[in-house]
Each structure stands twice: as C-alpha cells, then as structure tokens.
Structure 1
C-alpha cells in the first residue's frame, strides 16, 4: 500500500504554498503548526480546519478553491518524488499494489494519469471516500477490502506522522520514507517496521 503525497509525489510543498496563499487571501491566519496538522487530513477535515483559522468562505467553497488550484498546478507539472515511477513499475510484477491517499479523487487521478501509473494499482482510495481521514485507519482498511486482502498481510509506505499512525492502526507493517522537509514526529516514526532513506531502497525482498 502506498501513500501518495510525500511518498510518490513531492506535493506537500505545493499544498503548503497553495493553502497558505488561500488562507492569506481570505482573511485567515496561518499558524506555526498548521502544515503538520493538515498532513493526512481528508478534504472535508482540512477545509473545516482552514475555516477555523478565520478563512471567510464556507468549508465546501474552501475545498473547491484549493483543489482547483492544485489541479491547475499538477496539470502544468506533477512533482514526482525521486524513483517513484521506477519503484512502482519494478514492484508491480512482484507484489500487488494499492494506494490510500488523503488527496481528493480528482488529484489522485490527475497524478496517476500524468505519471502513467494507474494500471499498476489493484485499488486506490481517497479519504474523501471513507468516514475519517488519517490518522484514522479508514483509508487503508478500505483499500485492503477492495483488494480482498487482510490488512495484516499488507505493508504500507508512508512519510507523515498521521500517515504512519493510520497504517499502524490498520494493522499493517509500516515502512517509513520520511520527507526531508516535513519529517514525522519521533513517536510516529517509532511505529515503523523499517525506515528507508528513499524509494530506491524499497524492494520485493524487503517486503517478503
């Protein structure tokens, strides 16, 4: 199971830039811990949180405005993480792959289409499609159900604190590939079965 943001796509800097600008343009106040709190939230959750920072539009309008800007940025260029495409293609012939992302379905599809990776995943889940975002396990559990596998037989590749907690709560073996700009909290990183320096270190041999 793969996360998307921060694992396959170097999107967290883009999310931060877009949401910071949206907050500033609509009367809100970005807090020192805002970015770390947002990582892993579902669309409804982060839109409600931005509204609580004083952003004037309603949460559904906030979500539409931010996601529309993200789609425009991605259609211009998808910032793939080093080794992302090669890793997915290399592993696809050896293990079954799934994806559980906090991104909205629109962005998941834009990324996978642009990178020509959609065919490699047996199932993809957006936390828009489950009751709760990360750190709740809902997205990972839904992906496992769609794939017809036991979550305890899965390994999850994550980068963020909330993502690591989500996969662990789902009962999966957690592999951390920390983002250098947004490292996970020590207590979340301690949940990882393995900590890897990058996707190139993720092999079928390790997973077995």
Structure 2
C-alpha cells in the first residue's frame, strides 16, 4: 500500500531517513531491552510507556525509567545519583544493540542507493552518534550517504526539529524540497516541524504519525513507480 498527497510534479532534491524501524528492523529489539530494564529495576513497562517512548532517544528513555524507579522519599542527592546510574546503564545497553540482533528492512538499502545517485542523502536518528556510525557502516549504508546526524550531534533530539534541520543544512538542501521518511509520531513531528515533506513507513504497523503519505514496503510497485519518477526528475534538474 502506497499513498501520498504530494503533487504529481513535486520531487525531492535531497532526502533524510530515520534509522530504527525505517532502515533497520531494530524497534522490537529496543522495545525488548526497554521492558527488561523496567523489570530489572522493579517497574512495569506499560503499553502507555511503549507508545510514549516510541522513537525517543535513549537518554529520554533513561530519564523516564529513573523517574519511575527512584525510591519513594529519596533525597535530591540520592535521586540524582539514581538517575546518573540509570543513564549509564541505559546508554551501555544502547551501545550493545547491534549485538542483540537487527537486520536491514527489505528494499531500504536499494532505495538509498537509487536516491544517492541523483541527490545527497542523510540519516537522522535518535541513536547516539557513535552507535549510528556503527549501524551505518555495519549494514552497508555509509558509502551511499553524504552524512548522518545522531542524538548528541544537536542540542535537542527528536521530537525537536533540530536533527532534521541540521541534516538538511549539511546536505545544502531546501526543506520544502526535502523528502524525509519516518515511522513514529516522535520522528514525524520532528521532520514536519523542520519544514520537510514526510512519508511514513508502516511496515511494522501504522502508528498514526502525520505525514504527506504512507507506505508499507520499499518493494511496493506504486512506491517504486513514484520513486523512479522522482529520480528521473531530479536527474533532469
């Protein structure tokens, strides 16, 4: 299924993709890790927590976990020490996410390759910059990207628009002519507020994230037809 409200004569001059859940099938791995961390510290990871934290940076998750597990009546110093400990643990777990298991989403690398032949392409992710670099190199995306932007490369990660604004700046692009691809409400909000046009990847379920279109597979014939039209237009420009 592919649909879009973008006009038939619009095409991108640069593109910025989210990573987890859009290029890599890693969301379920991270959700499992989050639930395990809640359980480790005696808290329950509810559906409401999962929904609220989808697409959030690891640091934001750590602060939520710390707030949920700080002992009742703890002093300010003890609460701060607990949060510091939780942040250290969560960031260590995040750094080991590749080893926990993930793989490329079918067709994602081919899409990046095709676009990179005619326009600059970037990735903007709430992963730490170091982990994002490892992901891009380990899964073969790095050679086809102009740049990538991680959570600690900007003042505020998603849902703030800073990450997409920085990526577009590095690409030398115009936000209104930028294609972004997201899957979460958190990420889509960041992309939309940067002024870019956003397609929502729904291959793992539709989150209801706002955008100018949706698709559930990089191999969908209608998506590929539109992608080829954009590539042809960009090549002629």
TM class by smaller structure: 0.7 to 0.9
**Mapped pair 1:6 → 2:30:** no
Q: Which stretches in structure 1 are left out of the alignment for 5+ residues?
A: none
Look up the match of 1:78: 102
Q: CA deviation at 1:48?
A: 0.8
* Residue number among 195, 202, 215 corresponding to 1:196 in the alignment: 215
1:121 aligns with 2:121: no
Counterpart CA distance in 2 for 1:145 and 1:128 is 17
State how far apart, in whole Å, the 1-side matches of 2:228 and 2:161 are: 24
Do the aligned partners of 2:57 and 2:158 also contact (CA within 8 Å) in 1?
Answer: yes
Aligned to 1:20: 35
- The question of whether the paired residues in 2 share the 8 Å contact of 1:43 and 1:128 is answered with no
Change (3 A) 1:83 1:127: same
Cα deviation, residue 204, structure 1: 4.2
Which residue among 169, 175, 184 is the counterpart of 2:207? 184
1:104 to 103, 124, 128: 128
Larger relative contact order (Cα-Cα within 8 Å, sequence gap ≥ 6): 2
Check the 8 A contact 1:91/1:204 in 2, yes or no: no
Alpha carbons 1:44, 1:59 under 8 Å: kept? no
| Equivalent pairs, count | 203
1:147-188 Cα offsets, whole Å, 9 max, x none, are: 22222221101111111111111100111112424x313xx3
User: Secondary structure in 2 aligned to 1:205?
Assistant: helix
Deviation at 1:95, TM superposition (A): 2.2
Larger-gyration structure (1/2): 2
Mapped pair 1:134 → 2:158: yes
1:39 is aligned to 2:54: yes
Which residue does 1:58 correspond to in 2? Answer: 82
The alignment's TM-score, normalised by the length of structure 2, stands at: 0.77
Q: How far apart in 1 are the matches of 2:109 and 2:141?
A: 7
Displacement after TM superposition at 1:124 (Å): 0.8
Contact 1:167 1:173 in 2 (8 A): yes
Structure 2 residues not aligned, in runs of 5+: 1-15, 72-80
For 1:87-133, what per-residue CA distance to the aligned partner results, in whole angstroms no more than 9, with x for missing partners?
22222112210111111112211211111211211121112222222
Return closer, same or farther for 1:179/1:65 CA change in 2, 3 Å cut-off: farther
SS at match of 1:180: coil
Q: Distance in 2 between matches of 1:28 and 1:106?
A: 29
User: RMSD over aligned Cα, in angstroms?
Assistant: 2.1
